[in-house]
Amino acid sequence: MRRTLAKASIHTALNLTVFALIGTAILAFTYSQTFDRIAKSVEDEKFRLISQIVPQALFDNDIIKDTLQIEPDALLGNDGVTTAYRARLQNKPSVLVMEAVAPDGYSGKIFMLIAVKDNGTLAGVRVVAHKETPGLGDYIEIGRSDWIKGFDGTSLAKSDGHEVVTVPDGGTGHARLPLSNLPPAQAGEGANASLRDFHFKDADWKVKKDGGQFDYMAGATITPRAVVKAVHKALQYYDQHHDALFAEKENAK
């Protein structure tokens, strides 16, 4: 009895081991065969996305390889280290592509790729991943509507027409909005900025419903609100860290 039980156990164990080994071998082989191709697909996809928002004329470097690791920052909303891509033209910084997260979407975080030109102007924004309501809040996707292109060419307002300045604490004495890390801005103030010069003051970085400059679609204002806020903060981050972001030389990957 004891012997047969032991025999059966060993037989079963051997059987399982053999199949596990065969399975592992097949997987290892497939992995090694597809590895390069997968890496290329991922890179192509990234490049495809980046080249949508970074004009071809603005860079001549290998943008995918010229990366920078960005530590978590409240202004970017990233929880972990993210990768930023640096476009250069004749070795001069031209565009920085960084990831930003809007934490306050209608249903969870909205992940975005934001391209900022060297002068602080937005080259473009794309939503990479989100869980907003399909058919309602998902117009932030480029595949669904052109809404996201509303950011193209906008920048933080320049106070003296030369230097881009962010006002760290509202600066105007307006009451601080609760739950907002942002310089508060009161609705109404942006209304007189009807001439849309694309240099938006803090108050303009809101959807039109809140007195800002950005369109929204009826029925879903929480989503665009979150996106506008996140883009605004990302621009502030860029402004504060501009020199550091392009400081390092290309790091070979």
State the residue for tokens 């006002």. Answer: 167
Name the minimum Å distance from CB 27 to another protein. 6
By beta-carbon proximity to another protein, the closer residue of 27 and 191 is 27
Give the separation between CA 215 and CA 209, rounded to whole angstroms: 8
**Within 13 A of 207's CA, how many CA atoms are on the CB side?**
16
| Residue 131 touches another protein, criterion: CB under 8 A | no
| Residue 6 touches another protein, criterion: CB under 8 A | no
3-class SS at 144?
Answer: coil
Maximum Cα–Cα distance for the chain, whole Å?
A: 93
Helix (H) or strand (E) segment spanning residue 43 = helix 2-53
Name the minimum Å distance from CB 41 to another protein. 4
Name the minimum Å distance from CB 30 to another protein. 5
**Token output for 83:** 């990768």
User: Dihedral through CA 205, CA 207, CA 211, CA 217, nearest 10?
Assistant: 170
Q: Choose one: 36-44, 119-127, 195-203, 243-251; the region binding another protein (CB under 8 A).
A: 36-44
3-class SS at 193?
Answer: coil
- Determine which residue in the list 6, 27, 187, 247 makes contact with another protein, applying CB under 8 A: 27
> Residues 45-64 vs another protein: string with x where CB under 8 A?
x-------------------
Name the minimum Å distance from CB 220 to another protein. 11
By beta-carbon proximity to another protein, the closer residue of 41 and 181 is 41
> Residues 7-26 vs another protein: string with x where CB under 8 A?
-x--xx--xx--xx--x--x
By beta-carbon proximity to another protein, the closer residue of 40 and 176 is 40
- Determine which residue in the list 2, 4, 5, 37 makes contact with another protein, applying CB under 8 A: 37
| Residue 135 touches another protein, criterion: CB under 8 A | yes
Integer-rounded Cα Rg, in Å, for the chain is: 24
Q: Which of 216, 211, 197 is nearest to 155 (CA)?
A: 197
Beta bridge partners of 112: 100, 127
Q: Which of 116, 236, 121, 228 is nearest to 183 (CA)?
A: 236
Contacts with another protein, residue ranges (CB under 8 A): 8, 11-12, 15-16, 19-20, 23, 26-27, 30-31, 34, 37-38, 41-42, 44-45, 133-136
